[in-house]
Amino acid sequence: MNTRVEAALNDQIHKEGYSSQFYLAMASWAENHGLSGTAQFLYSHSDEERFHMLKLIKFVNERGGKAMIQAIEQPPIEFKDLENVFEQLLNHELMVTDSINNLVDICLQEKDYTTHNFVQWYVSEQLEEEALARTILDKLKLIDGDKGGLYMFDRDLLKMITTRANSTPADSKAQ
């Protein structure tokens, strides 16, 4: 495997692993604040990020490279409020999108069209994840801290897990 592509894929493995831990920390925060629907949504999002990481690990190893399992830094424990949770989630996804775009660039520069093809799955996934985070943030801004609104928001996030599970590519549900 091209060493530059391998290094970029390993960097992405680390980022997906961190995403999983970051959303796990958010889920735990939500659970401790009585937001059980939000917590379940974030637990499930954390599982998806782990799947993204595993998919990369398997790809690297199957193509003759060596997937590196690196230490993951401590995610935040406290969040100001629910809006802050989803602001951080959106900003994180924007950073991940930049990283995926960089990976696409490297594949093209190194003429690694197989990896380029593989990475397209992540390009589409990022589009979905950014759109979802923006939709959720818009809802929270509308609610503007209203308790009744937050109650309904929390309940609606539970429904979103089911909708997403039914619309996610089949292989992303395998884990």
- Residues within the interface to ligand OFO (CB under 6 A): 16, 19, 49, 52, 93, 96, 125, 129
Kindly tell me which of 40 and 150 has the beta carbon lying closer to ligand OFO: 40
Query: Min. distance of Cβ 36 from ligand OFO in angstroms?
Result: 22
Q: Can you say whether residue 130 is alpha, beta or left, with left for phi > 0 and alpha for psi between -120 and 50 degrees?
A: alpha
Kindly tell me which of 126 and 150 has the beta carbon lying closer to ligand OFO: 126
Question: How far apart (Å, rounded) are the C-alpha atoms in residues 160 and 36?
Answer: 13
Question: How far apart (Å, rounded) are the C-alpha atoms in residues 106 and 4?
Answer: 8
Kindly tell me which of 95 and 152 has the beta carbon lying closer to ligand OFO: 95
CB 27 within 8 A of CB 42: yes
Q: What is the DSSP letter of 85?
A: H
Query: Min. distance of Cβ 114 from ligand OFO in angstroms?
Result: 20
Query: Min. distance of Cβ 126 from ligand OFO in angstroms?
Result: 6
Kindly tell me which of 118 and 151 has the beta carbon lying closer to ligand OFO: 118
Count of H helices and E strands in the chain?
A: 5, 0
- 149: number of Cβ within 10 Å: 14
Query: Min. distance of Cβ 105 from ligand OFO in angstroms?
Result: 18
